[in-house]
Structure 1
Amino acid sequence: MDKIRLTNMKFYGYHGVFAEENRLGQRFNVDITLEVDLAEAAATDDLTKSIDYGDVFSRVQKIVEGEPKKLLEAVAEQITTELLTAYSILQQCTVVLIKPDPPIPGHYDSVSVEITRSKVKNG
């Protein structure tokens, strides 16, 4: 399966368990891997046979900068659901949602979750 990757997308959102996170917000980085057959797009040089990177970015931005969630897992799940629904040619989607400098005791560079979801094939 071919892959499209969008890496280190940066957003500002209000997700987290702590009230300060919901009030003050913080940075989030997102990496996306889209698994799709790109043979037709490559052969025809036709964007309609692929996935528009700008559209992916906009959809992810709307979610990460949108309604606050408590858990990174919930945000990542919402992103995978949105992308799998939006693109009929998309077979599998992996989202890595990174919270740099999390407000937890200790010395952490970041925390992250990685979720992979696939379309269910019938028959």
Structure 2
Amino acid sequence: MTDRIQLTGLRARGRHGVYDFERAQGQDFVVDAVLELDLAPAAASDDVTATVHYGELAERLVAVVTGEPVNLIETLADRLLAVCLADQRVVAATVTVHKPEAPVPHTFTDVAVTMTRTRTP
């Protein structure tokens, strides 16, 4: 599949982490999502219902980030992948969760986890 919808840099505040202060204070998380699906029907019809509505996808992803806290961003990424694959037209999805405020005692630019899942028949 070569067709993709990409949503990059979606920012939301969540309370994920293994430390109590991460749960209490919260921090920003940044999500990148890539969905693989056939976009020919949408291109031919020029109809938003023939594709994944990226605005609605963003709302669902933000609801996960701002929702129930988890310890690991790996778990968060897995939950976000489930949202991406909920639409049966999506054959594969890749999600990257960035945690730019991670409690690392050294100067760093980013901590991120990337996970890819393919729909199983």
- Check whether TM > 0.5: yes
d(CA) in 2 for partners of 1:110 and 1:40?
37
Query: What SS is found at the alignment partner of 2:68?
Result: coil
How far residue 41 of structure 1 moved from its aligned partner, in angstroms, is 0.6
Structure 2 residue runs of 5 or longer lacking an equivalent are: none
d(CA) in 1 for partners of 2:119 and 2:101?
33
Kindly provide the CA deviation profile for residues 65-114 of structure 1, in whole angstroms up to 9, marking residues without a partner as x: 000000000000001112212x1101001000000131121111110000
Q: Identify the residue that residue 101 of structure 1 maps to in structure 2.
A: 101
d(CA) in 1 for partners of 2:71 and 2:110?
17
Percent of pairs identical after alignment? 39
Q: Identify the residue that residue 29 of structure 1 maps to in structure 2.
A: 30
Structure 1 residue runs of 5 or longer lacking an equivalent are: none
More strand by share: 1
Task: Please tell me the root mean square deviation across aligned C-alpha atoms, in Å.
Answer: 0.8
d(CA) in 1 for partners of 2:48 and 2:106?
46
Contact 1:101 1:108 in 2 (8 A): no
TM-score (norm 2): 0.96
Q: Which consecutive aligned stretches of 4+ in structure 1 deviate over 6 angstroms post-superposition? A: none
Q: How many residues align?
A: 120
